[in-house]
Structure 1
Amino acid sequence: MEQTATHALELAVREIERHVAAGGWDGPVRVFALVRTADALAAQPGLANDLEPEVLAAAEEDRHHLTSIEQEGLPDADDLEGLLAALSWPPTVHGAAVVVERVVLPPAAEESMPADPDEAVDYLMNHPERQDVRLAVGVLREGTTWCVVRTRNHDQDDAVAGAPDLVPGLIEAVSATLS
């Protein structure tokens, strides 16, 4: 049964986040190329030997089905913004996904954060209301987006929230890598 591009991206981003979650918390930024599985198989028929039978079946049924390819040897960067600014993708890549962990505070706690960067980090890391979150954001060239968020306090697959627009700033940054 053929799905929409949004549904295919949602499935891919959720699968990527589960893959990263299997490695536990406190991991590095992870970056993935997203390719339409059918297109990848047409370009490289030998790829069929590396894919699970259920992936091959899904690709036959759904032209939107996506395969994620984790990127290794990423360029050195001081921060996530610098890393994403250094990335670009060939036309054979239909989208990209990024997984990153962050610490968030309720808005009232953010208002009390010290201006000094060193004091701010200490405040953030020791605040009793801090939440560790893992964000996974996927973007397709045509503009389709999907995001998921997992919290360390509710670290279960069925507690992962998802929507097309949960992390607008990260969506914009990932989109820029596809331009």
Structure 2
Amino acid sequence: MALTQAVIEIEQHVAADGWNQRPRMFALVPTTELLVTQPRMAAALGITDEAAQSGGIPTLTSVEQDGLALDQPLDEMLGKMVWPAAVVGCALVIESQMLPPSAEAQIPEDLEGAALERWVGRHPERQDVRMAVGVLRDGTRQAAIRLRSKDSDMEVLSGSDLVPNLAEALLGTFEE
């Protein structure tokens, strides 16, 4: 439940900045630990002991990570990431284009990489999507997907198995 809430809040936070964004990474930390170890950061985020005692704060707090190495493929960037022990999970928000299953048979076999991306980008059935995928060290995963054609908080899809490959890649950032 805590991860679901965190991922949906992260997706809504990113959505407030519109479309055509770079990938954005968030560390997930227990809110109670943040109150103890980073009181100034907690205060800046509006998290107080009083709010925690009344149940008015989330279990997990997301902290956006700056300085992502976006000049390399996503899998390489994730392969180099290391999280400190205080980070219990992470979430990544990326935008992409998807085709419906009915269009997959039309994909030319000889296309890959940038050429495939261009082909998909020109396909009349493509959907622009924003995917927020979060994982916890224990293997728990959650995703939220927003279609540009249905750009509303009420239309965001969520579930644990919506983006399995990206969830696996994020879990890999916690392996030692």
- TM normalised by structure 2 equals 0.89
Q: Which runs of 5+ in 1 are unaligned?
A: 1-6
> 1:95 and 1:150, CA in 2 relative to 1: closer, same or farther beyond 3 A?
same
Q: Which runs of 5+ in 2 are unaligned?
A: none
Please say if residues 25 and 93 of structure 2, whose CA atoms lie closer than 8 Å, have aligned partners that are also in contact: yes
Task: Please name the residue that 1:134 is paired with.
Answer: 130
SS at match of 1:89: coil
SS at match of 1:61: coil
CA positional deviation for 1:67: 0.6
Equivalent AA in structure 1 for residue 90 of structure 2: A
Q: Deviations over 1:150-178 (max 9, x none)?
A: 00000000100101111110110000111
Count of residues in correspondence between the two structures: 173
Q: Deviations over 1:113-137 (max 9, x none)?
A: 1223455333211111000110000
1:40 paired residue among 28, 34, 43: 34
2:111 paired residue among 116, 121, 124: 116
> 1:112 and 1:34, CA in 2 relative to 1: closer, same or farther beyond 3 A?
same
Q: Structure 1 vs Structure 2: percent identity of aligned residues?
A: 45
2: distance between equivalents of 1:58 and 1:131?
Answer: 40
> 1:36 and 1:127, CA in 2 relative to 1: closer, same or farther beyond 3 A?
same
Q: Quote the RMSD (CA, aligned, Å).
A: 2.2
2: distance between equivalents of 1:161 and 1:49?
Answer: 32
> 1:119 and 1:137, CA in 2 relative to 1: closer, same or farther beyond 3 A?
closer
Task: Please name the residue that 1:69 is paired with.
Answer: 63
2: distance between equivalents of 1:86 and 1:75?
Answer: 10
Residue 157 of structure 2 corresponds to residue 161 of structure 1: yes
Task: Please name the residue that 1:79 is paired with.
Answer: 73
1: distance between equivalents of 2:172 and 2:56?
Answer: 27
